[in-house]
């Protein structure tokens, strides 16, 4: 079967993407609003994209507006230059906070934190602190204002490098690139001064409500080309 994205409904195309592009690592992103309100939310369109400069990228989608929140690209808090007058989604709190403060923290998600991570994925009002919803402890960062998830074994403090806006419609989204300015690693996951990657029981997102663990691993040696 051959599929043309232009001929698929959004739900169908999205289902293929999240089902076939998997497993996807999860960026558990903590931010602060300009007024200092904490926010914590997970995103599975996420990866490391460069080592020099050290960049992480994640892609928050737009939130469909409720009837009382009908908006256009011109009035939805979106950046200048996007087409005015188009039906627009609403930026998620994470994206809005990063636009305002230009800082965030990416916390990795282990199997034991899966339920807490899931709790923070709810469509809460901006006044709600997801750290409190999930009963998570926060820890201070060194170079950015947002707090880290204390229970997460690895935290990446990031300064905003760039935001690429693709589509302001409810099915659209943006790509956030952050430059890592500090990495926190729990000492329990260090071996001879280095990250012991085999000790991290990380989880990844599959399609629908499915996740996977990184506990089943295998090695493959790269071929040597003379």
Cβ within 8 Å of residue 63, ≥6 positions away: 89, 90, 91, 92, 123, 170
Q: Determine contact, residues 126/39, Cβ cutoff 8 Å.
A: yes
Range with the poorest average pLDDT among 71-75, 86-90, 193-197: 71-75
Number of domains forming the structure of the chain:
1
Average pLDDT over residues 89-110: 95
Under the banding of pLDDT at 50, 70 and 90, the label for residue 90 is confident
pLDDT top residue among 84 and 108 = 108
Looking at residue 207, the DSSP 8-state letter turns out to be: S
Residue 221 lies in a domain: no
Is pLDDT at 3 greater than 80 in this prediction?
Answer: yes
Range of the structural domain that residue 44 is part of: 24-213
Question: pLDDT for 159-186, tens place per residue?
Answer: 999 999 998 778 889 999 999 999 999 9
Whether residue 86 has pLDDT greater than 70: no
- Burial of 145 from C-beta contacts in 10 A (0-12 / 13-18 / 19+): middle
Residue 137: inside a domain: yes
Residue 219 lies in a domain: no
CATH code where residue 71 lies = 2.30.110.10
Q: 0.85 exceeded by the pTM?
A: yes
The Cα-based distances of 106 to 63, 166, 209 in angstroms read: 21, 22, 22
In a domain, 13, yes or no: no
Can you say whether the dihedral through the CA atoms of 19, 118, 127, 35 is positive or negative? negative
* Residue 72 confidence (pLDDT): 46
Yes or no: say if 153 and 189 are a contact pair by the CB < 8 Å rule: yes
Domain assignment present for 10: no
Greatest Cα-to-Cα distance within the chain, rounded to the nearest angstrom = 65
Does the structure show a pLDDT above 80 at 113? yes
Strand partners, 12: none
What is the per-residue pLDDT across 12-33, written as a single tens digit (0 to 9) for each? 999 999 999 999 999 999 999 9
Residue 161 belongs to some domain of the structure: yes
Q: pLDDT digits over 61-80, tens only?
A: 988 776 555 544 444 455 55
94 lies in some domain: yes
Could you give the percent of the chain with pLDDT greater than 70? 90
- Distance between CA atoms of 119 and 54, rounded to whole angstroms? 29
Residue at 167 is within a domain: yes
Query: Per-residue pLDDT for 87 more than 70?
Result: no
Specify burial of residue 2 (Cβ count, 10 A radius: 0-12, 13-18, 19+): exposed
Evaluate whether 32 touches 103 at the Cβ level (below 8 Å): yes
């Amino acid at each position: 079967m051959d599929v043309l994205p232009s001929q698929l409904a959004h739900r169908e195309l999205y289902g293929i993407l999240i089902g076939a592009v998997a497993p996807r690592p999860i960026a558990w992103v903590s931010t602060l609003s300009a007024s200092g309100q904490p926010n914590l939310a997970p995103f599975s369109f996420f990866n490391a994209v460069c080592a020099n400069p050290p960049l992480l990228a994640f892609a928050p989608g737009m939130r469909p507006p409720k009837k009382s929140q009908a908006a256009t690209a011109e009035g939805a808090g979106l950046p200048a230059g996007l087409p005015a007058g188009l039906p627009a989604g609403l930026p998620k709190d994470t994206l809005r906070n990063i636009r305002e403060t230009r800082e965030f923290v990416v916390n990795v998600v282990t199997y034991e934190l899966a339920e807490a991570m899931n709790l923070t994925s709810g469509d809460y009002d901006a006044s709600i602190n997801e750290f409190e919803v999930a009963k998570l402890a926060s820890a201070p960062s060194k170079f950015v204002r947002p707090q880290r998830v204390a229970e997460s074994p690895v935290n990446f403090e990031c300064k905003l490098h760039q935001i690429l806006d693709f589509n302001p419609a409810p099915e659209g989204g943006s790509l956030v690139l952050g430059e890592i300015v500090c990495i926190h690693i729990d000492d329990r996951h260090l071996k001879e001064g280095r990250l012991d990657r085999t000790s991290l029981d990380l989880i990844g997102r599959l399609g629908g409500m499915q996740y996977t663990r990184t506990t089943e691993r295998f090695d493959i040696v790269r071929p040597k080309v003379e």
